[in-house]
Chain A
Amino acid sequence: MISFDKVNKFYGDFQVLKDINLTINKGEVVVVIGPSGSGKSTLLRCINHLEKITDGTLNVNGLSVADKKTDINKLRRNIGMVFQHFYLYPHKTVLENIMLAPRKVLGQSEKEAKELAMYYLDKVGISDKADAFPSQLSGGQQQRVAIARGLVMKPEIMLFDEPTSALDPEMIGEVLDVMKALAKEGMTMVVVTHEMGFAKEVADRIVFMDEGQILEEAVPAEFYENPREERARMFLSRILNH
């Protein structure tokens, strides 16, 4: 469903991604971890072309992302994305936030879009806030709205870029619960996170990155019990024993 083949990315002279080879299958939940600056967010953002790869091949849903002939807007309809800082549209109500893309991109009628939006709001447990503005919601609520905004396009892939890093600790759980439910339904998910509990419980695979490279790929049990790489071992000991 997603495959990186010898992908490199540079910002000027600085190489952010080094020879990335990674395949993610349909229905898989892949958690990407690693120290900050290791290129995990960039890797994620390449998948829906928010970042351009410099060379190599990146295929998503059978389409080459870097190919000029690929209709990137069409590709993106199929990929939901959730950001660290939510990026809800502050001038629109919760309902309008969710309805925008279905209305504009899929051409749904007002009624159809509203029903669908309410369905997903209900799914993330926040339907009572439909008419509120983002600024009236807590961080956790905002992030759940952002997830609903992604889901309403019925994407085949959901990308999460540190979805809980900007949240108060007591709100992390509600967002992770929504993500866990989503994973159980068989959604293909790529998640950049530091939430080790989530990774252990939900991930099919852990990808460990450092300095732009994928150093290790393993199932969670194996990765946490017995990481092969010294760098991964160091990283784990730092984040687990604090």
Chain B
Amino acid sequence: MLDFSILTDYMDVFLEGFKITIIASFIALICSFILGTLIAVMRIAPFKPLNWIGTVYVEFIRNIPVLVIVFFTYLAFDFGGMTAGIIGLTVYTAAFIAEAIRAGIMSVPRGQMEAARSSGLTYGQAMKSVILPQAIKIVIPPLGNQFINLVKNSSLLAVVAGGDLMYQGDLISASTFSTFDTYIFVGLFYLILTIPLSFGVGFLEKRLARSN
């Protein structure tokens, strides 16, 4: 039987970690979305050196375990655990988001770009006003899944003392010696975050399918 006294006695600690997990995931989401969009545009821009930079970034980052990246940002710079963790997550997630967005951009018919360019818009203007708004629609479902992964991956903040839910769980289990029960509660807290997100993504997917 689960020892619920851990939950009640350490509620404020759990909630502190829960809060940090939400904040870290949210900041990393925004940043990786911006960075990922930039890299996606670099990968398809009509300028070879940019393509190479984008490709190198994606292939390099995607093929390193996220744990290694988080350790690296923590050890290489003098940030605190939370900042280093957020940067590591951002760098990692951006590579996947870039790929999702690139696929979205590629699925917009070529004629859209041609129509925009032939009316005098620059490549950048056409991207921003014509291509990206259409690509985003296609990209939302895979992005949602990336966000859920991001929330789960944020548990890696624990290894660099990032103060997140997993980290607080480590602390609680160390002081109560109820390792099993503590991590069950930690898992439940993650579910509180990820299950609604998962349903949200499913809902968006259905709505977007209808609007097309």
Residues of A within 8 A of B (CB): 48, 50, 73-74, 76-77, 79-81, 83, 85, 87-91, 100-101, 104-105, 146, 149-150, 153
Given the interface pairs A87-B114, A104-B125, A104-B129, the reply to whether A76 lies near B109 with Cβ below 8 Å is no
Residue in contact with A76 in the complex, picked from B111, B120, B133, CB distance below 8 Å: B120
User: B130 contacts A89, CB within 8 Å?
Assistant: yes
Q: What are the residues of chain B within 8 A of A146 when measuring CB–CB?
A: 115
* Pairs A-B, 8 closest by C-beta atoms: A87-B115, A77-B120, A101-B119, A87-B111, A105-B120, A81-B118, A76-B120, A91-B133
Q: Does B122 contact A (CB under 8 A)?
A: yes
Q: What are the residues of chain A within 8 A of B122 when measuring CB–CB?
A: 73
Q: How many A-B residue pairs have CB under 8 A?
A: 61
Q: How far is the CB of A167 from chain B (nearest CB, A)?
A: 16
Q: How far is the CB of B97 from chain A (nearest CB, A)?
A: 21
User: B115 contacts A76, CB within 8 Å?
Assistant: no
User: B119 contacts A76, CB within 8 Å?
Assistant: yes
Q: Does B134 contact A (CB under 8 A)?
A: yes
Interface membership of chain B positions 120-134, coded 1 if the CB is closer than 8 angstroms to chain A and 0 otherwise = 111001000110011
Sample 14 A-B pairs with CB under 8 A, ordered by A number.
A73-B120, A76-B119, A79-B118, A85-B111, A89-B112, A89-B116, A89-B130, A90-B134, A100-B116, A100-B121, A101-B120, A104-B121, A105-B121, A146-B115
User: B115 contacts A81, CB within 8 Å?
Assistant: yes
User: A83 contacts B125, CB within 8 Å?
Assistant: no
Q: Does B62 contact A (CB under 8 A)?
A: no
Residues of B within 8 A of A (CB): 109, 111-112, 114-122, 125, 129-130, 133-134, 137
Q: How far is the CB of B132 from chain A (nearest CB, A)?
A: 10
Known contacts A81-B115, A101-B121; 6 further A-B pairs (Cβ under 8 A): A50-B117, A80-B118, A85-B109, A100-B130, A101-B119, A104-B125
CA distance A88 to B130 in the complex (A): 10
Q: What are the residues of chain B within 8 A of A77 when measuring CB–CB?
A: 119-120
CA distance A74 to B109 in the complex (A): 24
Q: What are the residues of chain B within 8 A of A90 when measuring CB–CB?
A: 134
Q: How far is the CB of B137 from chain A (nearest CB, A)?
A: 8
Name the residue in B112, B117, B120, B130 with the highest tally of chain A Cβ atoms < 10 Å from its Cβ. B120
Q: What are the residues of chain B within 8 A of A79 when measuring CB–CB?
A: 118
Q: How far is the CB of B4 from chain A (nearest CB, A)?
A: 51
Q: How far is the CB of A73 from chain B (nearest CB, A)?
A: 5
Q: How far is the CB of A124 from chain B (nearest CB, A)?
A: 16
Closest to B136 in A: A91
Closest to A100 in B: B129
CA distance A196 to B41 in the complex (A): 43
Q: What are the residues of chain A within 8 A of B114 when measuring CB–CB?
A: 50, 83, 87
